[in-house]
Amino acid sequence: MLESETPVTPVTFPPAFLWGAATSAYQIEGAVREDGRTPSIWDTFSHTPGKTAGGEHGDIAVDHYHRYRDDVALMADLGLTAYRFSISWSRVQPTGRGPAVQRGLDFYRRLVDELLAHGIKPAVTLYHWDLPQELEDAGGWPERDTAYRFAEYAQIVGEALGDRVEQWITLNEPWCAAFLGYASGVHAPGRTDPAASLKAAHTLNLAHGLGTSALRASMPARNSVALSLNSSVVRPFSQDAADLAAAQKIDDLANGVFHGPILHGAYPQTLFTATELITDWSFVEDGDLALINQPLDALGLNYYTPALVSAADAESSAPRADGHGSSAHSPWPGADDVTFHQTPGERTEMGWTIDPTGLHDLIMRYTREAPGLPLYITENGAAYDDKPDPDGRVHDPDRIAYLHGHLAAVRRAIADGADVRGYYLWSLLDNFEWAYGYEKRFGAVYVDYTTLERTPKSSALWYGRAARTGALPEVHSIQ
């Protein structure tokens, strides 16, 4: 080594750090009419003309229901130590009420056993947006009773899998379920009622609290119960008072509406003020906040890109640049006086700016917000227009650079005192990407949607090397 050269110190992680990947049931399983499963709101929504790109749906998806053993073997070959997946509520409890269908539960029993046989730690998410259609017909998430139905469902799954699964997540991204599903309508069930979306957010909070209690009553005490939030990193366009107020309003709607009651037992007063023309919040009943504010064993954070906002410019008529799909209806109730700006920098195929500093900021915020609570990055990843080369290989250097930058941000947060215990790449497989159909590929594993053949991309090999060594390989180490 020349005297002028500086040795490169590898970015290493704690020995017990979990290296995982994540998926969700409707996006990968298929088999929507097998073994007693009935439609969820996403079956209905995706079969409604005009709701998804190309009218695409998850009827087959990537057929994980029949190919799960091969998919688990693939994870093991890559060296993953954890896998986060969700349960299809309507596969387990078809009407959202009553006894379980054992054939549905048996699929998840087999999946868990297969993971454990390969030394992969399962992490179960109970709800990833696929509400049984019959519960939506009865009012959906704005209907208070849905929270109690969720608690019954949580108990069923906890009793079935709690002896073998130690990591549990009640809800994934309740913000999307409430505000994309019931305010902007770009997600199932496609409703556009701002008041209903706020009521849905509260019911989801109540479902988390009741579900947490149900899980704890039905499982061994050693098990961990968590929640996955897609908390936004909201940055003001300037330090002007109006822009700071705009950022506070969006922060309340994106973050405080969930972490306020869940972590602290109270909604932000500024949230009530911002939405007072939409609802009086009378649906929050005495005792609800105590039911919601259950102690957590961990918190999951999902991160993709930051938000940049300002007070609205009266002269501006540009589309809302919040990255949450195109709709004439806003997913931000009471925030029509806020403008979203495209943040500068390189972008993924979703149009989302690549900014690992946002992930570091998010981790450190919750390190302060909930001191002593272990954190997991339960989703992080990027969509790119991946294609096989003439030899059938799929080289995705942009995704490798994305992962390297964001994992380095996680390690920096750990060095700064954050207790981050694992990272779940989104996603293991290319899959049905909700309203975008199959046009956005987030997977580390390429799926040919005609043959359903799986091909690990370069990023999967790179990430597998990181998982096996506990250190980040150089960005160009996989060709």
Question: In degrees rounded to 5, what are phi and psi of residue 100?
Answer: -75, 155
Residue 448 near residue 66 (C-beta atoms within 8 A): no
Query: Among this protein's residues, is 315 annotated catalytic?
Result: no
* Catalytic annotation, pick one of 173, 276, 369, 474: 173
User: Could you say which DSSP state residue 455 is in?
Assistant: E
Contact 199, 257 (CB under 8 A): no
Burial profile 147-171: b = 16 or more Cβ within 10 angstroms, e = fewer:
bbbbbbbbbbbbbbbbeebbbbbbb
What is the C-alpha to C-alpha distance for residues 405 and 472, in angstroms, rounded to an integer? 10
As a whole number of angstroms, the distance between CA 466 and CA 468 comes to: 6
Q: Select from 340, 441, 431 the least CA-distant residue to 384.
A: 441
Here the contacts of 93-98 (C-beta below 8 Å, separation 24 or greater) are 93/132, 93/152, 93/153, 93/156, 94/36, 94/37, 94/38, 94/132, 94/134, 95/38, 95/132, 95/134, 95/135, 96/131, 96/132, 96/134, 96/135, 96/146, 96/149, 96/153, 97/134, 97/135, 97/149, 97/152
Whose structure tokens read 């006894």? 99
The span from the CA of 257 to the CA of 70, in Å, is 40
CA–CA separation, 468 and 17 (whole Å) = 11
Determine which one of 114, 136, 379, 433 is catalytic: 379
Q: Does the annotation mark 379 as catalytic?
A: yes
Closest CA to 74 of 446, 431, 360, 437: 446
Look up residue 243 and give its two tokens.
Answer: 């822009």
Torsion angles phi and psi, residue 419, rounded to 5: -100, 75
Query: Half-sphere exposure (CA, 13 Å, Cβ side) for 392?
Result: 6
Burial label for 465, CB within 10 Å (0-12, 13-18, 19+), is middle
**Using CA atoms, how far apart are residues 263 and 290, in angstroms rounded to an integer?**
11
- Residue 350 CA from chain centroid, whole number: 15
Pairing of strands 454-456, 445-447: antiparallel
* Catalytic positions: 173, 379
